[in-house]
Chains A and B, each alone.
Chain A
């Protein structure tokens, strides 16, 4: 981009030289094959066009024919400020005088595209140029996970992925990882073959209360798949095996104080890998249900809320997805933030599945803890219905939408410990 008169003049001079060279090549010569001559002419023409475009843009700016400037991202802000100065008819010296700094300082700012300028300075420049910045910020992300661009590696939480040791073959420092991100991220994702198979075979859904950070979810999914594929269950997953008795058996494990840990083997015997992986910054996930390419199923949990009631509800919710949605071909992956509303039927079905599995409505309607919200009532209902007190207490809190109730009854701090976290 031309930023001052000196550059304008030198650009014009360059165009003249290139045009002369272009004209010379128009004369036939025996020295070069015609095809090469044409290639050279084409390259020169392209260069001339580019420079002419810059000249035109600069002249238009200078003549005040452009009053609106657009930016795709914050990266474009420095260019906008330079263009605005030109459009205002201000030289770099004028702007320097306006701000009380030397012309050379403005030249340095513009030469390195304001990289060294503080936010205050950028604001000052924008004010000096009387630029009203009305850039809209769009949160990119769709619950259908259809916007993830594998080449947009900048969007991935590289530092956190590095800290967690996800780039297992990379031995460098974090700053080296940053430099190598354009290689590391795609390799990490493709290694887990998680995201970039044809969309038709890979329909996904995210339950969330707001915009979804697709890249963070894609990275988390990739990690989960990698961990699951390392040690797949011997048995093939068959959703028809998730009978009422099997589900009841799983819920009964809640009565054991090591229930969450025991559940890993119980699920494994049904062809389901249970993977624990904390959620990444930018995502609020409780868990996910995923189909695996090698015929087993994956339930992944973040243990975001370290409570027994949340563990069992999330687990049964994901089992519900496996039974109802994942293997029926509707989806290959469903991600859940169970704190957010169940906006569609898929999520409502899974919520209902979990709720009925843990505490059928017929039992809940006769639960004394619905009406007498104390520890004794919770223990009585747990004994009556054959589930852990934490499940009853969790249901009371969920129904009352009051998470201050029965705090000591929901098994806080008892899940992560079992998984060594």
Chain B
């Protein structure tokens, strides 16, 4: 069976990420279905309380989607918001998001999982009934291999009132041990071959990431990190029997499974530029300075360009900015700038890779 050519990047909807997808080219946008993890308000470590009320946090969400990802489908997961959290009017945060999205005519699909609490599933059921767009079912490999998985999924889909052919399966491997790769492929293949929901679902997508939690172990200058999830996906596609259903590809873009949640007042990172290349990322990293850290960026961009792996300024908006920063025609930016640059180029690169792999 054909390899799907859509791509599911998991995004946390930080400013750098929604700016990245706004700047995608139209062909690239057509093939991208972001999986958005809605974040709770940041924590104010000085005042020891959330920086905002949940209402303030979620109120701009619909508008941001409308501004940055209009008219295109996206999967929305509220897993990061604590289960007991409710809006001021008592609504579940997921219900609030989808009520707002519905008013804006956004094509969002709610994501749930087997282990979400009853209120969450109840919210999903209400959204399914109102929108009829189905659900995303996010599951780990360990859940998919549970002998009772099919039974649990049937119970869930019945509970939320969603037919199996309106379920988008998101088989999320997280950040697994990628070695040895062949047995891992055999395990994923055995889950996919178990039939049931993997056959009847509207789509099946496999997600993973090998992006590290920290870049501290990388050397200053230029380093290469293999994109193990992409290598795994390609090998899986080659290993699956010709008649088997091929899953789509997803990853965590240029981010780790766990994202920094510490006190940002004390978090200091070295300036770095992340750049997706064939099967890997180039990471250009400079020593942190006491001030003017962004002065390092033109040099870092120069290192990416001089590496021989630069795709050219025309390849993506991210690439164009790197080229411009090196030439001095673009600003040196800040961490948010370099987040959108890396994410925009990464998504463009993966979509191009998938097009090559699927022959489309």
Partners in one complex: yes
Q: Which one of B20-28, B62-70, B176-184, B267-275 is at the interface? A: B176-184
Chain B stretch 243-268: residues in CB contact (< 8 A) with chain A: none
A366 within 8 Å of B by Cβ?
yes
Given contacts A370-B177, A371-B177, A371-B187, contact A384 B143 (CB under 8 A): no
| A365 lies within 8 A of B186 (CB) | yes
| A365 lies within 8 A of B183 (CB) | yes
A82 to B184, CA, bound (A): 72
B217-252 to A contact mask, C-beta < 8 Å, 1/0:
000000000000000000000000000000000000
| B190 lies within 8 A of A366 (CB) | yes
A371 to B178, CA, bound (A): 7
- Contacting residues, chain B, for A383 (C-beta < 8 A): 146-148
A127 to B315, CA, bound (A): 81
A142 within 8 Å of B by Cβ?
no
Most buried by B among A366, A368, A380, A384: A368
B174 within 8 Å of A by Cβ?
yes
Chain B stretch 130-152: residues in CB contact (< 8 A) with chain A: 140-143, 145-148
Given contacts A371-B177, A372-B140, A372-B173, contact A380 B186 (CB under 8 A): no
A366-397 to B contact mask, C-beta < 8 Å, 1/0:
11111111101101110110000000000000
| A372 lies within 8 A of B146 (CB) | no
- Contacting residues, chain A, for B141 (C-beta < 8 A): 368, 371-372, 377
> Contact check: which of A365, A374, A384 meets B145 at CB < 8 Å?
A384
Q: At the interface, is chain A mostly helix, strand, loop or mixed?
A: helix
> Contact check: which of A367, A377, A384 meets B147 at CB < 8 Å?
A384
- Contacting residues, chain A, for B184 (C-beta < 8 A): 370-371
Instruction: Tell me the nearest residue of chain A to B189, going by C-beta.
Output: A366
A76 to B271, CA, bound (A): 68
- Contacting residues, chain A, for B140 (C-beta < 8 A): 372, 376-377
| A369 lies within 8 A of B186 (CB) | no
- Contacting residues, chain B, for A365 (C-beta < 8 A): 183, 186
A384 to B141, CA, bound (A): 13
A: interface residue count bin: 10 to 19
| A368 lies within 8 A of B183 (CB) | no
| A366 lies within 8 A of B183 (CB) | yes
A353 to B184, CA, bound (A): 25
Instruction: Tell me the nearest residue of chain A to B184, going by C-beta.
Output: A371
Most buried by B among A365, A371, A373, A383: A371
A374 to B258, CA, bound (A): 15
Given contacts A366-B190, A370-B177, A372-B173, contact A380 B183 (CB under 8 A): no
- Contacting residues, chain B, for A371 (C-beta < 8 A): 141, 173, 176-178, 183-184, 187
Given contacts A365-B183, A366-B183, contact A376 B174 (CB under 8 A): no
B186-228 to A contact mask, C-beta < 8 Å, 1/0:
1100100000000000000000000000000000000000000
| A372 lies within 8 A of B142 (CB) | yes
- Contacting residues, chain B, for A379 (C-beta < 8 A): 142
A371 to B143, CA, bound (A): 13
| B145 lies within 8 A of A368 (CB) | yes
Minimum Cβ distance to chain A for residue B147 (Å): 6
> Contact check: which of A366, A374, A376 meets B186 at CB < 8 Å?
A366
A367 to B142, CA, bound (A): 9
- Contacting residues, chain B, for A373 (C-beta < 8 A): 177
Not counting A365-B183, A370-B184, A372-B141, a sample of 6 additional A-B residue pairs whose C-beta atoms are within 8 angstroms of each other reads A366-B190, A372-B176, A372-B177, A383-B146, A384-B145, A384-B147
Enumerate 18 A-B pairs (CB-CB under 8 Å) in ascending A order: A366-B183, A369-B142, A370-B177, A370-B183, A371-B176, A372-B140, A372-B142, A373-B177, A374-B142, A376-B140, A376-B142, A377-B141, A379-B142, A381-B142, A381-B145, A383-B146, A383-B148, A384-B147
Please list the residues of chain A having a beta carbon within 8 angstroms of any beta carbon in chain B.
Answer: 365-374, 376-377, 379-381, 383-384
